[in-house]
Structure 1
């Protein structure tokens, strides 16, 4: 079996490549000069194809004779200035892929979405796969782009594709992976004093990959699944992390007025090009919300046993490979 993975050089895509390499020949779509660092220790050969999801011609060529596509390519940013680029990469890129698959007769797609695609609302605390998208001030441009990308996948399903959509929460990889999704560790490593009042939903990347693999093996086409281990208050989450890292945990609850002051400081630093801090009004508000992502749908199908959070933190610190 031949498997094409878009975003194979990224965090989640690289781990998926290592896992799915056990059942098929992996082909990784990559842009020119993109780093292959995360796949240096892959136990399976990666056949690289130079291309871009924004270039339909290269996509069509890459899809020749493929049996399965894993779409893990995408842009993650919470900077309002990146809205246009987010729509281009996440929405147009997915549209191009779906169209190319339909044209080439490649029917099976695993689409890596995000829990952000569920939307956010101040009136809703709990979300599952049946939650309906609601327009609100809590939906970031990134969330909107992932939601619209999903719509393109469902459009493809109506036109003949078989799709499995997975929606990971905060993915916990290794610190050495040096990706945006692992930046959360640095908040504790730098011994910041304040913690947000809200909750964090998370999953070990190894669990996310294993669940995706098992759902594929069970043929869960036409379904979407939230990949989330647990929900914790940031206070408890950071305390567990600090204990594992041998650092002082944040001990002061972040108040709204302090958050507003922080936004002003970060805004000035960004204007002076002294900071790339992702904090903005939307991300600040979301960090103060209690949001609970349900994983019952996965559990009903797989009865999955998750890696304990403490073990995840210890592994995140290590220099060993996956």
Structure 2
């Protein structure tokens, strides 16, 4: 089986490549200037093909002799100035990929989305796969782009693709990965003082990759699955992280007044070009909420036991 992985040079893509290597030949899709550092560490045999998600003809060429596509590529940003690029990458890029698969007769697609694509509600504290997207001030531009990207995937299913959609929460890799969600470690490593009052939903990168493989082997086509080890308060999350890393944990909760000031300061600093802090009104609200993305469906399907959070932190060092 020939398995093409987009986003293979990123954090989760590299773990997916290692996990799926036992099932077939890995074909990595990358842009010409992409770093392969994360994959070099894993000592994998990869056949490389160069293509950009924005170029339909390149994507069609990349689909030659492919049996399965794992679409892990995407842009993560909470900067308001990146909204257009988020749409181009996460929506148009996914549309181009789906169209290329349809044109070349490649039938199987595992789409790596995000719990952000499911959406949020000010009225619900537990959200599962049945939750229907609704417009809300809690939905960031990133969330909207992932949601609309999923719509392209489901449209592809209507036109003949076999689709499996994966919605992971915050993916925790190793500190040395220095990609994507691993930047959250720097908050404790720098011994910041304040913590948000809300909850964080998380999953170990190794668990997320293995579950994705198990769902593929189970042939769970036409389904979407939340991948989330659990939700925990930011206070406890940072406390466990600090314990593992030998650092001082944040001790002070962020008050509404401080948060409003922080949002104003972040916006002003971005406006004058002095900062790239991704804090805005939506991300500020989210950080103060207690929300759990329910993992009942995937646990029932696989009977999977997630790694404890402290084990992940000890591995991540």
TM range, normalised to the smaller chain? Answer: over 0.9
- Return 5+ residue gaps in structure 2 as ranges: none
- Return 5+ residue gaps in structure 1 as ranges: 318-322
Between the aligned partners of 1:69 and 1:42, the Cα distance in structure 2 is: 20
The alpha carbon displacement at 1:229 in A equals 0.1
Partner SS, residue 226 of structure 2: strand
Q: Give the corresponding residue for 1:278.
A: 278
How do residues 282-293 of structure 1 correspond to structure 2 at under 5 angstroms?
282-293=282-293
Partner SS, residue 275 of structure 1: coil
How do residues 48-63 of structure 1 correspond to structure 2 at under 5 angstroms?
48-63=48-63
The alpha carbon displacement at 1:277 in A equals 1.6
C-alpha offsets along residues 286-314 of structure 1, whole Å, 9 cap, x if unaligned? 10011111000011011111111111001
The alpha carbon displacement at 1:263 in A equals 1.6
The alpha carbon displacement at 1:87 in A equals 0.6
The alpha carbon displacement at 1:23 in A equals 1.0
How do residues 1-322 of structure 1 correspond to structure 2 at under 5 angstroms?
1-317=1-317
Between the aligned partners of 2:269 and 2:293, the Cα distance in structure 1 is: 34
Partner SS, residue 153 of structure 2: helix
Between the aligned partners of 1:286 and 1:264, the Cα distance in structure 2 is: 16
The answer to whether the 8 Å contact 1:22/1:44 transfers is no
Q: Give the corresponding residue for 1:320.
A: none
The alpha carbon displacement at 1:274 in A equals 2.9
The alpha carbon displacement at 1:183 in A equals 1.0
Between the aligned partners of 2:11 and 2:139, the Cα distance in structure 1 is: 24
Between the aligned partners of 2:279 and 2:83, the Cα distance in structure 1 is: 15
Between the aligned partners of 1:143 and 1:275, the Cα distance in structure 2 is: 23
Between the aligned partners of 1:106 and 1:280, the Cα distance in structure 2 is: 40
Between the aligned partners of 1:59 and 1:155, the Cα distance in structure 2 is: 18
The alpha carbon displacement at 1:123 in A equals 1.2
C-alpha offsets along residues 23-60 of structure 1, whole Å, 9 cap, x if unaligned? 11111110111100010023431111111111000000
Partner SS, residue 225 of structure 1: strand
The alpha carbon displacement at 1:165 in A equals 0.3
